[in-house]
Amino acid sequence: MDQRPISAICPPEELLKAILDRSSDAIILLDSEGRIREWSASAARLWGRRRDDVLGRDAGSILGASEEVVIEDLPGGSTTQEFQRSDGATFRGAVETHPLYAHRDVVTGTLLRVQDLSETDRAHQLIQDRERSLHETLKALRRSHESLKSTQLQLIQAAKLESIGRLAAGVAHEVKNPLAILLTGVQLLARRLASADAETREVLADLEVAVKRANHVIRGLLDFAAATELQLEAIDPGEIVKGAVALLQHEMRSRHVRLDQQLQAAVPALSLDRTKIEQIVVNLMINAMDAMPEGGVLTVRASVRALSQSGHGVGFRRTDLLRVGQTVVAIEIEDTGTGIAPETLARAFVPFFTTKAAGKGTGLGLAVCRSIAELHRGVVWLENKPDGGTRATLCLPAGESERRAA
Amino acid sequence: MNPHRILLIDDEPAFTRVMRTYLQETGRFEVRMENDPRRALVAAREFAPDLILMDVIMPDVDGGELASAFKADARLSHVPIIFLTAIVSKEFVSSHHDMIGGRPFLAKPVDAKELVRAVDLALKAVA
């Protein structure tokens, strides 16, 4: 921009020129044919063309506008356009057009005022870049927050389980010793009273069963407590399913349960505690068999998929362990039984809750399953299938465990 | 045939009483019980057992320490020991082939018939 002082006593034309050259916006005057009649210093700077080189030339070829500059009928009309400089670079400009009239309705030329928007655009771009980077930072922060929250929950859970474990081990020791006295005592009496009346022998037999039942509960409690430490190894979950199936093959046959095994081939190996995951699968399979006293079909499925929000029945309380959309290995066990009553479903994972006959279940099976699943950062849940029967799903994070194994 | 001598060490008197009665009633064993593990070594030297049945978790001296003391004693080092414990489950013991640290283990509460079987097996091994 021309910075020389303006002389107030110069001829009007020169004064006008001086004023035009001091405008930061480009001022361009066109004649009625669209030829350039005046070209301010800012226009020269913006387009990189000297005044002498453009005067009298067609504006269309000089301005390099992306579209034809529309001369608005109304004075003061403004649009945004892209222009090309003499060196080929482009810039955006806000264009104001003012038709010049000789007299009514006769346009003799046009005054163009073009404001260079390059700086504004650059600032805008900078803001956008900053916003994007802020957004990315925020996303990363959220991710690490989620991960921290999940770790914290896991630690709390582990601490809880550890204290339960200590408690259980203590209780087990204190209860098993008196049980040992009772069992040997009952067996001693049974031997001494081998020729006693039937009723006495029956009472003694019942006592022995009762002691063994109490011991079974304690064992369940120890199992529950033992679910605090994992012996991890890289293993194909499908192999674990096959192992569980092999264990229960005989049981299924004798209970007239037909097996439908659907194991996807491309299930990735995960870092798992083989024994404990097998314990979950066996447990869920036994529950499925128990749900079909007359026999039926037991479906076992293993597949890789993205975790969906829908269909999470009871048991999916720790949603923060897995995210929707996360890749998981799902092991599903379905029965063709009568399904689970809603009030039972709601309490299925509560320790010591059982619907099985006295002595048949400790009420710890599903609680143990949940603890083990959560230690693997997975989840296990139960739901009634729309077409009848129950589906138990164990979801194990695919990426998570792999990362941990690395 | 002389009955086999079994030393039964457990801090629970009711347990040792009932177990001693059970084993002695088979007519094949003579059982001495010791409820104070601190006196167990002296009792073992006096009694000179053919086999020791012993609890693991006891006050003052635990089963592991006692086993080391017996092993260090020339007259007792060859005596087989079967541990009885309430701290592990039957399944845990089974999955470890009834052996922990090279010693046979039985989980409490132990089925008396199983105990007699384990005792017979251990005695046969050193006979």
Of A169, A173, A187, the CB nearest to B22: A187
Q: Which residue of B has its CA nearest to A211?
A: B109
* Residues 6 or more apart in contact with residue A129 via CB below 8 angstroms: none
What tens-digit pLDDT sequence spans chain A (406 residues)?
Answer: 566 777 767 788 888 888 888 888 999 999 988 899 999 999 999 999 999 999 999 988 888 887 766 655 555 567 888 899 999 999 989 888 888 888 777 878 888 899 999 888 899 999 999 999 999 999 999 988 887 877 777 677 666 666 766 777 777 778 888 999 999 999 999 999 999 999 999 999 999 988 988 887 787 777 666 656 677 889 999 999 998 898 888 889 999 999 999 998 888 889 898 888 988 999 899 999 999 999 999 999 999 988 875 444 444 444 456 777 788 899 999 999 988 888 777 778 876 677 766 556 666 778 888 888 888 888 888 989 888 899 999 999 886 444 443 3
* Number of residues in chain A: 406
Write the ipTM.
0.81
pLDDT confidence of residue A227: 59
Residue B99 in contact with residue B81, Cβ under 8 Å? Answer: no
Q: Which residue type sits at A321?
A: L
Largest CA distance in chain B: 37
* B99 in A contact zone (CB under 8 Å): no
Q: Per the CB < 8 Å rule, is A188 touching B25?
A: yes
Beta strands per DSSP E along B4-112:
4-9, 29-34, 51-55, 81-85, 99-100, 103-107
B 103-122 residues with CB below 8 A of A? Answer: 107-113
User: Which one of B17, B89, B92, B111 makes the best mutation probe of the A interface by having the most chain A beta carbons within 10 Å?
Assistant: B89
Query: In terms of CA atoms, which chain B residue is nearest residue A174?
Result: B86
Partners of B86 on chain A (C-beta within 8 Å) are 172-173, 176-177, 180
What the block records as the tokens of A330 is 């799902």
Closest chain A residue to B22 measured between Cα atoms?
A188
Q: Is A216 on the interface with B (CB under 8 A)?
A: no
Q: Is B33 on the interface with A (CB under 8 A)?
A: no
pLDDT in tens, chain B (127 residues): 789 999 999 999 999 999 999 999 999 999 999 999 999 999 999 999 999 999 988 888 888 889 989 999 999 999 999 998 887 655 555 555 555 556 778 888 989 999 999 999 999 988 7
Sign of CA dihedral A195, A198, A203, A209: positive
pTM of the model: 0.49
Which chain B residues touch A223 with a CB distance below 8 Å?
89
How far apart CA A320 and CA A272 sit, in angstroms, is: 20
Q: What is the pLDDT of residues A322-350, one digit of tens each?
A: 777 788 899 999 999 988 888 777 778 87
**Contact with chain B for residue A247, Cβ under 8 A:** no
Over residues A292-321, the pLDDT tens digits come to: 999 999 999 999 988 875 444 444 444 456
Residue of A181, A192, A219 with shortest CB distance to B14: A181
State whether residue B19 sits within 8 Å of chain A by CB. yes
